[in-house]
Each structure stands twice: as C-alpha cells, then as structure tokens.
Structure 1
C-alpha cells in the first residue's frame, strides 16, 4: 500500500522530472543486451553438447554450468581490475607499444553499460544452456535425420526442426535471465549504470524515502507481471510430442577437422572467460593477500553466511514439502494457487522483496510497541524488522520457489498408485509419506536444499537492505571492499563464496547425471 500513499518528500516526482526515464531506458537496454548475448552463448553450446561428438565433450557438458556458482558482481570485480586503465592488460599494451598516455590509443571502457551486459551474460547464460541442452537431448533424432535425408544441410535441419521444438525451453530460460538481470544490483552499481534496482536502493538508504522506493518497486513488479504474462501467452497453443524414436544421444554425429577445432575453441573460450579466468584471479589475489585478509571478522561472516544459508535452505525445503504434499493429498484450485503464488518470489528482485517484507513488519513492530505501552509494559523494540527474523523471512520469500519447483517435479514422478497401494496395506497418510514418498524423492529434496543454499550464499541486495545492525554476510563483506576499491582484500571472502557454492553445485550435477 505504500506505493499508493502520498510522497510528502517529493522524491518520486523529482525522479520523474529528472532521471527516472533514463533509469528505465538503462534497465531495458541491459535486459535486452544480456538476453541477446546469453542467447549467442547458450544456443550453440547446448546444440554442440547435445548433438555432436568431439574431444572433452563429457567435461564441457557440466563445466559450462559452473559460472552459476560465481556471483556476477565478483566477475565484475575481476574484469574491472584486469581491463581498467591501471590494470595489467592496458599496462602491458602501453609498455609493449610504447604508448605514453590514454590519448595514444583506444581501449573499450569496462565500466559502462556494455561491460555490465558482458559480465551478466557470462554468468547467467547457463540458465538458458541447461534448458536448451535438456530440450535438444529429449528431441527425437529421427526427425533431424529425416530432415537431412530430404536434402537439408545440418544448419537448415537445425533451423527448421530442432530450434522450433526447443522454443518452449528457450522462452523459459530467457525469462529467467531477464528476471535475474532486472534484480541485479551489485554489478550495475559497480559499473555505475543506473537502473530501477539501483534507484530503489538509493532512494531508500540515501534519500530516506521508503515510499518512493515502494513506488519504484511497484513499477518493476508490474514489468515482471507483464513479462511473465507475455511469455505464457506466446506459448499458449504450443504443444510438442516428439519423444518417440531414437534421441539425439543415439544419433550424435562426430565433428572432424576444422569444425571440431572451431567448436572446441568456442566452448573452451566461453568457459575460460566465464569461470576459469575469474576463479584464477581470485585465487591469485587471495594467496597474495592471505595474511591481511584472514582475520576473525572473516571467520565470523563466513559462519554467518553458512548458518543463514543452512536455516533458509532447511525452512524452504520444509515449506516445499508441506505445499507439495498438500497439493497431492488435497488437489484443487486452492492448493494449485498456493503452489503458484509461492513460486513467484524468485521472479521478484531482492530489492522489491526487501521493500515488501520491511513495510508490514515495521508496522507490526510499531503496533506491538504501542500496545505494550498502553498496557503498562516497556517497549521491546524492533523484534521483527530489526532482527535476523526479517532477513530469514526475506530470503525465504526469495528462494522458496526453487525448493517448491524441485520437490514438485520429483513428486510428479511418483505414481499415485503407490500411495493407494500403501493405504490398502493399512498405512495411514503420515506413514505413506514417510515410508513411500520421501524415500522416492530424496534426490529432489537434496537438490532443493543445495540449490537454495547456493543462492542464499550469493544473495546481496536482500542482505544489504534487511540485515540487522552489526550483522554481515560474506556477500555484504565483499561489497564493502569493492565499494572502497579494495579489490585485493575482497578476493579471499569472494573466493569463499565461490567455493561454498561450487562444491554443492558439483554434487547436485553428479546426482542429476545418475540414472537412479
């Protein structure tokens, strides 16, 4: 309701008169650029991995997903340090070419909207790659071979057969990337690109106008609703049934000579610039500044991040189990709507979630303190909005959709006849869930837990806006150093974020590769 209240400070009208249009244009440009570049990265990668055979394919098929473990703002730190005017790349060029000043040569500025688009694309393309790879692997290879037998070249067969069949997965992947881009704060802020997300942060913490921040958040939420609606509407009549016959896995064709080396160069270059290079730079700086970075604060913030992620992942898993079993045991409109509403949180940027969570809990705290004073008791302070409770609640709102989706897909593979068989043998509902359902979906439960854990470890906007006083996570700790241009000191905590996300990410991937 704050979005519809009167802004007495005049901040929102001032933004409309000055910079809101520019912020909106920047937001649209960043989203469009990231979608285009991510598409160029993910589509050929998914096709080559799914449908071609070449050396190191078995390594690349999972390694190309590793950039998901690195937060975009950490890649932004690395690339800025490498390619800035004072960085080693330009320094080497000036020394090698004997250039004296910046006027003697041209080098693209990394701290621009183009730099933000590049960094976000390098870290977000795996969302689309994963979905497209799955789509291509599931397609009937016989359709592709039939197109080839009719005289079409491999590219023509891909364009007219494989690509249209993967449209649904492509739309979902691009929607995810658009949502992640819209919700990004640290990367665009570090590159000095003003978007609607940075406007929410600035108007809240710098101008002190929560009403203005709520109004901007409502604009972003409306844009998300329109985006999701358009994506669903575009696929309303699309139905594809093409699982019969041999798959692309069965009919994978071997690349030879120039094609093989071209594909290898493209895929390994993509992996190098999106994961290997940022990780190597972090390791180099972390080792060089290890003694300066290793302190009691680092260990405290690591424990804060770890336990916060554990708590959020556990609660998200519990919530997902409750909602999905409620839908399974009592199917209907209410249970279906509950599942869908719980899945909207991940589509909403962290800054918008923070606004939506803080306003009602602040009002609740104020009401509670007034009631206590009226009954003769002393104030208890901000027990909801000023404690760790609101941060956990904000994280849960943001990431529970991941757990709900994972449990929903796992539970859908468990036949209802198993439940009926268990009940016919005298087992009640609780025993059926404990002895039949839970053992069959334990892989999905572990996947849900680890994925929420990884996202909670990386989350920055929600933590920046909702964390209690004197509470820091690794993400906010890194952001402090980055804001002060102390990149070397940010390397070790940033590396810890990557490693604590990378290890469980590899575990999830290995689980998904198994047949059982």
Structure 2
C-alpha cells in the first residue's frame, strides 16, 4: 500500500489558508450593491491606464538595457548590471515621495539650484515613477532570454547584408518574446498592486480608492473593488500565458565591441534613468538629513519593522518546507504549491481588506501583531517556497535513499540530510520575505497594532503630515536594507555558479 508523504497534510492546510482571503472577499463583497458606477468606471480606467503605460514604459527602457548588458562588451560590465537593476531593490513609494518633493515650484531642486522644473504629479508622475522602478523586471527576464540565444542567425543575417539594428529587431527580439512578455507582466502586476505611488501622486486607482473606502468604514465596497482588481490580475496572467515564443537550443551568445564614442552615447542615454531612480532619492534624503537631522524618528520604528519582518520570515520558511517538498514528490503536491502562489498575486491592500474583516469577526486577533504577520506570510510565502524548492531540487536523491537504507527514519533523514543541504535556499527565502515585509505599506497601515509604527508606515505618516524632512532616516534605512538583501542574493547566486563550475 502506497503511503502518503508526511508533507502532504500540512501542505493541504497551507493551501487552504492561502485561498481563505479570496473566499472572505467574496463573502464580504456580497453585501455591496454597487458593482459598477461612474466612479468605479473612472477608477478602473485610471488603473488600466497606469498599468498599460507602466508596462509599455518598462519595456521601452528595459529591452534596450537588456541588449546592452547581454551583448555589449564594455569596462565594468557587471557593475553596470548591478547599477541598472538596483531600482528593483527600492520601494517605488520612496521614489514617488522624493520626486514629488524634488520637482515643481518650491521643490528641493528649485530651492537648491534655483531651477524651477515641472511638478511630478498626477498620472504622468505616477507612470514616470512606476516605469523607473519596474523596468528592471523587463531587463532581467529579457537579458536571460538573450543570453541563451545562438548568435549564428545574427551572423548569417549580417553576412547577407542586414544592418546590426535590423538584425536586432528582425532576428533577435522576435526570439525573446516570452522573456519580454514575462517582464512586462511583472511590471504591470506591480503597477496594479502598488498603493504608495498612486496615493502620493494623487491618482485614483483601485488601491488608493480601496484604502479610502476602508478608512470610511466601507469595507464591503472595498471588498468589491478588491475582487474587481483581482479579476484584472487574473486576466493579465492569462493573456501573458498565451504569448508564445520560439524554442531553440542555447548556443554561443552574441558579442558586440563598440567604439569609445559609441559607449559614451549608450551611457549618456541611460544615465538619466539612474539619476532619477537612484541618485535623486539618495540626494534628497541626504539633504533632509543634513538640514533637519533625525526629526522625531525613534529607533523603535526600525526595531518594529525588523521584528515583524523576522517573525514573518521565520513562519514563511517553516511553512514553505513541507510545501516545497510536496511539490517535488507528485503532481498533487505541485497543485498545492500553485495554490499558495495566489497570495503573491493578491495586492497588499486587498489582503489587508480581507484580513481586516477576519479580525473584526475574531476580536482577539484584530489589530494584533499576529494578524499582521499572517498577512505578510500569505503575501510572500511563494518567495520562500520558490527558494526552498529550488534548493531541494538540487539535492542528490541518492543521499536520502542511502540514509533510509541504513535505517534512518524519515524525520531523522530530513533533519540530518535534507535540511543541512537545503539551508542556503531556506536562508534565501527568509531574506526575500524579510525584505518584502520590511517594505510592505498598505497591509501594515491596515493591520498594524495601534501605535505600532514601522519604517514604511512612519514614512507614510510624515508624508501625510507634510513633514518631508522627517522622512530622511526611514527612507535611507529602507534603501540600505534593500541593498543589503540584494547583495546577499547576488553573492549567493555567484557562489552557486562557482560551485556548479567546479569539477
């Protein structure tokens, strides 16, 4: 008789927990009579406009940069890759906050340089910010696809007289359509789920209006809007899944050796992106710190952020271990794993709406740190599952089989063989969950205990109060933590590449 693996029962319970928020939203939304009204239609148009323009802008910036980092031989090539992907490590609301404060009459640029630039507000400002902080998605997915292409077709086209730009557009890019579509999807999903940027730029999207309804005690209407937002997310994922691309064997990648003036032109073209996305936020926060000092900032806020994020990371990896191992064992395990991925597709504002209702039904749980940690875990559990599963798939199954043949029980085999060999994936998953929980804004605003201020929520409070100078320390700390986690992940990937290359 075939035995059921021990990981299946906890995996099934975790999968059921992941579906819970969507069921709660459906129940709560049934109390709302307003499915579509003129205001909702305007909100949907704004949301779709922001999503579409963000995906388009991220593609227009990310694809050329992917070609540059994948094919162009230039000094400090790896350094350029790190710099160009660095905006991915920064929360977009930090960029929105600093660009909002820097531009326009009376902004920081006007005060410091006497240069009055147009204000960054409204839909154009939101699109600009979202594009700056989502183009690395397109860059990374497209670059990965480009690096696997064989250059022989390009060389053949060049031999037949086609120009290099023509080869890139006619021969190379059609073969990486899936990579471009995957990056554009991530950019669009980010735009759909982001709350801070539309709120700061004063654009009525689903996320901003849901938060307004929540504050106005319109929880059922917030749930209805949340379900409409989830329908858009599901439709977007379906459309991306229908995009087809070519499959081919990997080969030797293309190499381009531009002249000095050509490299200078390329660097000049993308330097404004780095200035706006990285240098400007750091400069504005540094200016505020020099001018106003620490303000009313307390180290307790940083401790609260780290404490809640550590709890979420620990719980997430504990839940991810059985889910990842069940996914490796069978098809039913993979189904349960896919169900847990629903949480990552649920925007933070939507997760907060669902769990607020749960908290109201369970007063002992409402506005507690436990409920906030549950929100973090449900949102970011897929990050931990993916990291643990990747590490587990690299494990040599013969080691486990040998341990069982020598009489070790399953629990002992897991403790002495599997766990030590997958600890790197566990640490990587915990680091990712920790980073995302540190940066999560809407769910923390809605579910945090009374008086429980984190770096993200303190940054939001000073924005609402207009005390922009007090945002320096939390902003810099969030950037520092993001950079440290990114460096940790990159160093882990580099060590893995070295190990795989060793004979």
| Category of TM-score, reference length = shorter chain | 0.7 to 0.9
- SS class of match (2:203): coil
1:288/1:90 CA distance change after superposition, 3 Å: closer
Instruction: Give yes or no for contact 2:388–2:426 (8 Å, CA) kept in 1.
Output: yes
CA distance in 1, matches of 2:180, 2:411: 39
Of 128, 142, 152 in structure 2, the residue corresponding to residue 142 of structure 1 is: 152
Of 361, 366, 378 in structure 2, the residue corresponding to residue 397 of structure 1 is: 378
- SS class of match (2:242): helix
Matching of residues 357-436 of structure 1 within 5 Å: 357-363=355-361, 365=362, 382-436=363-417
The unaligned stretches of length 5 or more in structure 2 are 1-25
- Is 2:79 the counterpart of 1:59? yes
Displacement after TM superposition at 1:421 (Å): 4.4
Matching of residues 79-478 of structure 1 within 5 Å: 79-90=99-110, 108-206=118-216, 208-235=217-244, 238=245, 240-243=247-250, 245-246=251-252, 248=253, 251-294=254-297, 298-329=298-329, 331-333=330-332, 335-363=333-361, 365=362, 382-478=363-459
Displacement after TM superposition at 1:62 (Å): 1.3
1:318/1:153 CA distance change after superposition, 3 Å: farther
Segment of structure 1 superposing worse, 506-515 or 141-150: 141-150
Instruction: Give yes or no for contact 1:293–1:492 (8 Å, CA) kept in 2.
Output: no
Displacement after TM superposition at 1:3 (Å): 4.4
- The alignment's C-alpha RMSD in Å is 2.2
Instruction: Give yes or no for contact 1:62–1:509 (8 Å, CA) kept in 2.
Output: no
TM-score (norm 2): 0.88
- SS class of match (1:64): helix
Instruction: Give yes or no for contact 1:304–1:473 (8 Å, CA) kept in 2.
Output: yes
Instruction: Name the structure 2 match of 1:5.
Output: 30
Displacement after TM superposition at 1:393 (Å): 0.5
Instruction: Give yes or no for contact 2:92–2:129 (8 Å, CA) kept in 1.
Output: yes
1:425/1:147 CA distance change after superposition, 3 Å: farther
CA distance in 1, matches of 2:421, 2:138: 28
Corresponding residue pairs, total: 472
The unaligned stretches of length 5 or more in structure 1 are 97-104, 366-381
Displacement after TM superposition at 1:90 (Å): 4.1
CA distance in 1, matches of 2:186, 2:123: 20
- SS class of match (1:266): helix
Of 52, 57, 64 in structure 2, the residue corresponding to residue 32 of structure 1 is: 52
Instruction: Name the structure 2 match of 1:507.
Output: 488
CA distance in 2, matches of 1:24, 1:182: 11
Instruction: Give yes or no for contact 2:67–2:146 (8 Å, CA) kept in 1.
Output: yes
Instruction: Give yes or no for contact 1:34–1:181 (8 Å, CA) kept in 2.
Output: yes
Please list the CA deviations of residues 450-472 of structure 1 after superposition, one character each: whole Å capped at 9, or x if unmatched.
11111111110110111121211
Instruction: Name the structure 2 match of 1:369.
Output: none
CA distance in 2, matches of 1:406, 1:269: 34
Displacement after TM superposition at 1:511 (Å): 1.9
Instruction: Name the structure 1 match of 2:10.
Output: none
CA distance in 1, matches of 2:246, 2:433: 31
Displacement after TM superposition at 1:138 (Å): 2.4
Displacement after TM superposition at 1:205 (Å): 0.8
1:153/1:429 CA distance change after superposition, 3 Å: farther
1:132/1:431 CA distance change after superposition, 3 Å: farther
